[in-house]
Amino acid sequence: MIMHHRLLAALQSIAQVSLVAALRDDRLGFPDPKDLRVFIPDLHLISAQRLATGGFHFSTNYEPLLVALLGMLKGLKLAAAADERVLVTQLGDILDLWREVPHINPQEEVAAHIANDHAELMNALRDPDLNATLFLGNHDYELYHWASYAGCVRKMFIPENDPQVLVLHGDVFDWIEQTPDAVQNFLVYYFAPGTQPTNYMLGQMHQFVSRTSPNPESTTSIQCATPARLNGLQPAGGAIPAQFNLQRAGDPAADVKFLDIAYEAVGKSGNAYGPPVKTVIIGHTHAARIAVREQDGGLFTLIDCGAWIENCSVDGATNPMPSAQIGVLCGNEARIYQLAPRPAAARRRKTSGRATRHPSARRRTIRRRARKAG
């Protein structure tokens, strides 16, 4: 898979990269090997002032690495051949309006106040050369009030000509699980190709979420009370296995949250409007995983791309690590990577093939040579 290899090499040039999960299967519903999709999950940005005064345990992880990632993806997109496609999608909860203010007033510049404190990241994310698709999550779907965020979406079907992959933030599955009767009116907007929720429907969603969310401000955490569990990691080098760390329906030890709900919702509402959806890609839960369900010889897959906030913990490891994950789909192969900044030693500049020394070291060398010469 040439585009997978190219992306992985580019990732390794800016970060330490570990493989969280992988699945290569012709039933994923996205066969084009020249169409690369990269999914960046929840960021939950808040203003510096609110971070200082809110008593929050978590803020966005590795913001400089995020900026570098977006710049690298832009370069990859610009360098793509004429018959290749690179599309970057941010899955929602970019700005955490819930943690920023208790109530949204569309006349106030709440979104701008947060964005201004993360100007470099927001500029990179909204760079026209990157042309990323931005989603509305449950923590920031009220961005639809502001014209500058009018292009944000709540769902995306891919490929466009024969959609078998559905991309969502993922919070709709919470609603279906908690109050199935109350969300029936919304299902057509989420599972019918070619439609997006109107501002009126988004307003209805706001009222619904306000009633069903017990603590939307979440002062001590976002969603995960404990670090998200990862079965294991492996360095993302060499051959990537066809299956790695899959969570399977029916396995009591598997993390299959939303798997059955997504399967049933797609089956009830989506198939009436087009081909059966085979794969659903989400953020929202902050738990990076690929969960699969075999059904009548077919495969249904839920790809949860993780988050860039809170921590994750690998089975058997003693210390959690900051979550920093991305999902990737290309040529019927899905991967989730965990990123981390490269060690400082790996970033040292080199001059003429030799490591550049600190100026004081050069001065000591000059003095030693002068004494020998004397």
Give strand ranges (E) for the chain: 15-24, 35-40, 85-90, 133-134, 155-158, 165-168, 228-230, 234-235, 243-244, 246-248, 279-282, 289-295, 298-304, 311-314, 321-322, 325-330, 333-341, 350-351, 354-355
How far is CA 167 from each of CA 4, 108, 248, 262, rounded to the nearest angstrom?
A: 20, 31, 20, 11
Looking at residue 223, what is its pLDDT? 57
How far is CA 134 from each of CA 22, 87, 187, 276, 345, rounded to the nearest angstrom?
A: 24, 11, 21, 25, 35
SS3 317: coil
Looking at residue 346, what is its pLDDT? 44
Looking at residue 273, what is its pLDDT? 57
Enumerate the domain spans of the chain: 2-350
Dist CA 60 CA 78 (whole Å): 27
Q: What pTM did the predictor assign? A: 0.86
Q: Which is it for the CA torsion 214, 217, 220, 226, positive or negative? A: positive
DSSP of 181-202, one letter per residue? GGGHHHHHHHHSTT----HHHH
Looking at residue 280, what is its pLDDT? 96
Instruction: Write the class of the CATH domain 2-350.
Output: alpha beta
Q: Which residues of the chain have pLDDT under 70?
A: 1, 178-189, 192-225, 268-275, 316, 345-374
